[in-house]
Amino acid sequence: KRAPTVIIVGAGMSGISAAKTLSDAGIKRILILEATNRIGGRMYKANFSGVSVELGANWVSGVGGPQVNPVWIMANKLRLKSFLSNFLNLSSNTYKPEGGVYEESVARKAFEVAEQVVEFGTKVSKDLAARKQPDISILTSQRLKNYFPKTPLEMVIDYYLCDFESAEPPRATSLLNSEPSSTYSNFGEDSYFVSDPRGYESVVHYVAQQFLTTNAAGQITDPRLQLKKVVTEISRSPRGVAVKTEDGLVHRADYVIVSVSLGVLQNDLIKFHPSLPQWKILALDQFNMAIYTKIFLKFPYKFWPSGNGTEFFLYAHEKRGYYPFWQHLEREFPGENVLLVTVTDDESRRLEQQSDSETKAEIMAVLRNMFGKQIPEATDILVPRWLSNRFFKGSYSNWPIGVSHHQFNQIKAPVGKVYFTGEHTSAAYYGYVHGAYFAGIDTAKLMTSCIKRGACSYNI
Ligand SMILES: Cc1cc2nc3c(=O)[nH]c(=O)nc-3n(C[C@H](O)[C@H](O)[C@H](O)COP(=O)(O)OP(=O)(O)OC[C@H]3O[C@@H](n4cnc5c(N)ncnc54)[C@H](O)[C@@H]3O)c2cc1C
C-alpha cells in the first residue's frame, strides 16, 4: 500500500512543526505550500535603518518556571541574542499626558491597586472553573472589585496589564481562559526579547532543517517546501483532497493540514468545497483575531533617559491606548537611537488606514509632550500592517468572553481529511510562538493516529 500524502498549507511555526512531526512518524510524502517567499510567518525580521527588528513575535514568553518552554530551548541552541525584560520600573517611567513623569509613589500606588485587581481576577477565575460556572470578561471581574480605571494613569496601567498582552481590552477578553496564564504559570514569569540579526524566525528554520534537506549554506533546498504558492481552494472528498493555488495548479493528496491564521480563515480567503460545516464556521467566527502593532522610529540622537531600569516606559493619555507602551532599544542596538512604540486593537486599525507620515506626526506630538519641544524629528518610521496583509489578517488570536471549550475544540476539529492547526488551536498557549509549535505537533499526531491506527474520529 502506498504511503499517504499530506499537504501542509502555510510554513509558519505551526505548519513547520506539524510537518516535522509527520516526518518523524515516517510520513515523508509531504508538500508544504507557503504563500510568501519565506518561512516563519508571523515571526518576521525586517531591516529598519540598518538594524534588524522583529515586526511580529519578539519575546520568548514564559521562561524560568517549572517547565521549560521548548522555544527557549531552541533559542538557546541557536545562541540567539536576547535580553531579559524587566517591567518592574514602569512606576518610575510613566509619563503624564502633558509631559513629565508621575511621582513614583503615586504611580506605584496605582500599580499596586491594579495588580491586586488582577490577583482578585485570577482567584475569581479559579473559583468559576472549580464550580463549572460560565465565563466572565476581565472587565466584569474588575467591576466585581469596584475597579473603574478612568484617569490617564489608571487607564495606561490597565492597558499595560491587559491589552499589552492580549492585544484586546478587558471587555473583550475571557477571564476564565486568560487568568491564570498557562504560559507564565507553566513556563515562568520571565520574558526574553529576541534581538539577533538572524531573526527570531531562525527558530522556525531550526525546526525545518531537522527534516527538510538543505544545502551547504544551510538554506532549505527540499522540493517538498514550495514558496510563493498561494492556496485559494481546498476540495475534499472521502478519497482525498485537491488544493488549488493562485497559479492555477491543483495539488492532490490524501490529507491536508491548514495552518493559516484565524484571520485568514475568518476572511474566507481560502474557499472550501464543499463549504465547511456551519458549526465550524461559527466556531472560527466567534474567536477573536487581535491586532498588535509595533512601530519603530529612528532618531538622529537620543533624547530619552537610558541606563538601568529605563528600557520600558508608559505614556498616559485621556484617550486610552493612545501610543501607550514604549521601549528604547539601547541594549539591543546601542547608539542606533531606535524607539519602539506599541499600539493595539482600534488604534492599530486606525493607523493601518492612514499614511505613515500622519502616524509619525502624531507620534512626534506625543514625544514632544513627553520630552519637550526641542527634540529632533524622527528620520525614519516603520509601521507594520498585519491586519491589511491578506496572509495574516491580524496579529494573534485572543479568547473572547463567551466561547466555551467545546467551541474552541471545534476550531481545531478536522473536517473529513482537512485538518487544522495554528496558534489559534492551542487551548493553553494560543497567541504565542510556543502555542503554534505545540499546535503543529498536536495536529500531526491526530492525523498520524488516523493514518496509522484508523483512529480518525475526533471527540468534541
Ligand atoms: C506583532 C506580533 C507580535 C507578537 N509577539 C509575540 C511574542 O512576543 N511572543 C510570542 O510568543 N508570540 C508573539 N506573537 C504571536 C506569534 O508570532 C504567533 O503565535 C505564531 O508565530 C503563529 O504561528 P502560526 O504557524 O500559527 O501562524 P503563521 O506564522 O501566520 O503561519 C501561517 C503561514 O501561512 C501562510 N499563508 C497564509 N495564507 C496562505 C495561503 N492562502 N496559502 C498558503 N500559505 C498561506 C502565511 O504566509 C504564514 O507563513 C506575535 C505576533 C505578532 C503578529
Nearest CA to ligand 1 atom 26: 422
> In Å, how far from its chain's centre is CA 54?
12
Predicted pLDDT of residue 230: 98
Residues forming a β-bridge with 173: 400
Q: Tens digits of per-residue pLDDT, 366-422? A: 999 999 999 999 999 999 999 999 999 999 999 999 999 999 999 999 999 999 999
Find out whether the beta carbon of 429 lies less than 6 Å from any atom of ligand 1.
no
Model ipTM value: 0.99
Of ligand 1's atoms, which has the minimum distance to the CA of residue 270?
41
Please give the distance, rounded to the nearest whole angstrom, from the Cα atom of residue 366 to the centre of ligand 1. Answer: 30
Domains, the chain, in order of start with CATH, read 6-42+200-288+400-453 (3.50.50.60), 45-65+290-382 (3.90.660.10), 100-192 (3.90.660.10)
Predicted pLDDT of residue 312: 98
Predicted pLDDT of residue 460: 75
> H or E segment at 163?
helix 163-166
Ramachandran bin of 380, using left for φ above 0, alpha for ψ from -120 to 50, beta for the remaining angles = beta
Which DSSP string do the residues of 44-91 spell out, in sequence order? -EEEETTEEEESS--EEEEESSSS--HHHHHHHHTT--EEE---GGGG
Predicted pLDDT of residue 2: 75
Task: Provide the whole-model pTM.
Answer: 0.98
Of ligand 1's atoms, which has the minimum distance to the CA of residue 431?
19
Predicted pLDDT of residue 424: 98
Alpha-carbon separation of residue 402 from 166, 173, 335 (angstroms):
16, 9, 47
Residues forming a β-bridge with 298: 338, 380
The closest of 200, 194, 204 to 34, measured between CA atoms, is 204
User: Which parts of the chain sit beneath pLDDT 70?
Assistant: 1
Find out whether the beta carbon of 33 lies less than 6 Å from any atom of ligand 1.
yes
| 3-state secondary structure at position 272 | strand
The closest of 85, 135, 147 to 110, measured between CA atoms, is 147
Candidate of 168, 205, 260, 342 to mutate for ligand 1, largest count of ligand atoms within 8 Å of Cβ: 260
Candidate of 33, 271, 433 to mutate for ligand 1, largest count of ligand atoms within 8 Å of Cβ: 433
Neighbours of 142 (CB within 10 A): 22
| Residue 53 φ/ψ, nearest 5 degrees | -110, 160
Looking up cell 473536517 gives 415
Please give the distance, rounded to the nearest whole angstrom, from the Cα atom of residue 12 to the centre of ligand 1. Answer: 6
Predicted pLDDT of residue 364: 98
Please give the distance, rounded to the nearest whole angstrom, from the Cα atom of residue 181 to the centre of ligand 1. Answer: 20
Looking up cell 474588575 gives 142
